[in-house]
Amino acid sequence: MTYFPEEVLEHIFDFLSSHLDRNAVSLVCKSWFRVERWSRRRVFIGNCYAVSPERLIARFPRVRALTLKGKPHFADFNLVPHDWGGFVSPWIEAMTKSYPGLEELRLKRMVVSDDSLELLSRSFPNFKSLVLVSCEGFTTDGLAAIAANCKHLLELDLQENEVDDSRGQWLSCFPDSCTSLVSLNFACLKGEVNLVALERLVARCPNLRSLRLNRSVNLDTLRKILMQAPQLVDLGTGSYVHHPNSEAYVKLINVVKSYKSVRSLSGFLEVAPRCLPSIYPICLNLTSLNLSYAPGIQSTQLIKLIHHCRNLQRLWILDCIGDKGLGVVASSCKELQELRVFPSDPHGVGNAAVTEEGLVAISMGCPKLHSLLYFCQQMTNAALITVAKNCPNFTRFRLCILDPKKPDPVTLQPLDEGFGAIVQSCKGLRRLSLSGLLTDRVFLYIGVYAEQLEMLSVAFAGEGDKGMLYVLNGCKNLRKLEIMDGPFGDVALLMDVGKYETMRSLWMSSCEVTLGGCKALASKMPMINVEIINENDQMEENPDDGMKVEKLYLYRTLDGSRRDAPDFVWTL
């Protein structure tokens, strides 16, 4: 076994797709390390500041696909100031020199400039796939460069990015020679697109499987597109509003009726609920349905639609479906694996909403459910205990009771027991988000039972340092811990500093940690970047060590403090 020729080793390693497996393999011996290193094609970097581009290139010289994540998760909720960081340009600049064969780039929560996109489009002749999730900093000019210059582009997938629509003709920049597109998603763009260019593009790309349109694409264009692309598997509609001219609508109905290939449906960014029945004929084929961006559909209409979707595995919906609607989901969608219920009115209190009843119904009807994101008005311990019993397979359980610190409305007790039941029952739980009134007890349960937990999100919970310590001591697989508005301070922070080297990152905002505590941590752990985000100018003049830190973000890193930190970020 020790004298395998390296080509054979490399061939065997090709079968290893998981980067965890490859990491393990590279530790076996020097020769395996070398072979693995040269044959690694795909790299995942969960925190772009954990390692520098130069180090990546030195370690893996022949990478073709890179995934990078930038800002911390709580940046999604406006907790991280603009200009905090997460710039992709140093990465792209480094890769132009060293990875001429780069084919795929996936970025999440990063700042991407038009210049970077332009450079990307010109530097990698085999570039095939660009996926941008929750990124910002670019305009449609950057997209135009990608469209124009990437001759073998297969995939352009833009998910929930903040894009400045500057000129809107980017779609026309795909040359006539571009016929290779497999996936195109521009649903998040707010501006107009050239509809004729779009139709022509779809017509000349026979391999197109996934197409997600933005709001500017009307029903009539959709119909024409569907006729040109009978093979779409994933469709995101734009505007789904029919005009009073009923002939156009009838034409659409006929096209949709015969559209058998679609398995995943989303969009309806603007919708006339009367048009929804046109979808009924294809509902049985759907495994994934996302209506979470579709405004103004009433519960009764949603119920009628979902009733037809018997094979649904993933459902993203707004809470206006109501508890009764979730009951219909429970009785109709027996194959359901993932459910996300979003609030239709983020600032509202008790309008159209869901409660614990809806969740219990789902748990009774959908035994395969393993991934949940549920925004609700209230939750009870009894309901959570029932859910835990019915669905022991949760891997992701995120519950958001809109009113922070809300107790069980029936017993007025904290929700410790309910969440405790979840972690005890769901042995495979990897991600958990807590809400409602919670004491230290819930953290005790998490520390004891949540052995596989990798990510924990906490807000307005706990009584003191003990809570955080239960988690840090108990959860051996914890990678990310993020806490907002908690009573945890220096004692918890400093008890086991070695723990942070086993984790990707820790976020604490509006907690009790002090500047002195953070300094102490930083001095003990050189391989950890301890960053303090200081937005008020309080800390400018000779800060006192006893001063509370408003936002702390620490993460392990191989390359020391970052050089691109703005003024308001202090690395201790």
Partner 1 sequence: MEGTVTFESDLNLKATELRLGLPGTNESEKQTPPSVRSNKRALPDMNEESRSKNYSSVTEAAGHGDRETAPPSKAQVVGWPPIRSYRKNSFQPKKTEADADAEATGIYVKVSMDGAPFLRKVDLKVYKGYPELLKALENMFKFSIGEYSERDGYTRSEFVPTYEDKDGDWMLLGDVPWDMFISSCKKLRIMKGSEARGLGCGV
Report the interface residues with partner 1, using CB under 8 A. 74, 76-79, 134, 160-162, 188, 241-244, 269, 272-274, 292-293, 295-296, 342-347, 349, 375, 400, 402-407, 412, 414, 433, 437, 439, 457, 459-460, 463, 484-485, 487, 509-512, 548, 550
CA distance 280 to 257: 8
Q: 340-371: buried (b, 16+ CB within 10 Å) or exposed (e) per residue?
A: bbbbbeeeeeeebbbbbbbbbbbbbbbeebbb
Report how far apart, in Å, the C-alpha atoms of 267 and of each of 197, 342, 567 are: 20, 15, 40
Shortest reach from residue 99's CB to partner 1, in Å: 30
CA distance 484 to 464: 14
CA distance 147 to 504: 35
**Residue among 99, 148, 151 at smallest CA distance from 125:** 151
State whether residue 121 is helix, strand or coil.
helix
Determine the residue type at 174: F
CA distance 542 to 195: 59
CA distance 440 to 414: 10
Q: What's the distance, CA 467 to chain centroid?
A: 27
Determine the residue type at 154: L
83 or 463, CB closer to partner 1?
463
CA distance 239 to 212: 11
Report how far apart, in Å, the C-alpha atoms of 340 and of each of 85, 291, 391 are: 30, 10, 16
Structure tokens at 211: 């197409």
Structure tokens at 318: 């707004």
Handedness of CA 299, 301, 302, 308 (dihedral sign): positive
CA distance 448 to 539: 39
For 320, which DSSP code?
G
CA distance 96 to 114: 16
Shortest reach from residue 486's CB to partner 1, in Å: 8
Q: What's the distance, CA 137 to chain centroid?
A: 18
Structure tokens at 555: 């993460």
Q: 276-296: buried (b, 16+ CB within 10 Å) or exposed (e) per residue?
A: bebbbbbbebbbbbbbbbbee
Structure tokens at 258: 């015969």
State whether residue 557 is helix, strand or coil.
coil
Structure tokens at 78: 């406006």
175 or 296, CB closer to partner 1?
296
State whether residue 301 is helix, strand or coil.
helix
**Residue among 411, 408, 455, 402 at smallest CA distance from 432:** 455
Shortest reach from residue 531's CB to partner 1, in Å: 17
Q: Are 376 and 400 in contact (CB under 8 A)?
A: yes
For residues 369, 371, 376, 381, the Cα torsion angle rounded to the nearest 10 degrees is 70
**Residue among 308, 204, 202, 224 at smallest CA distance from 265:** 308
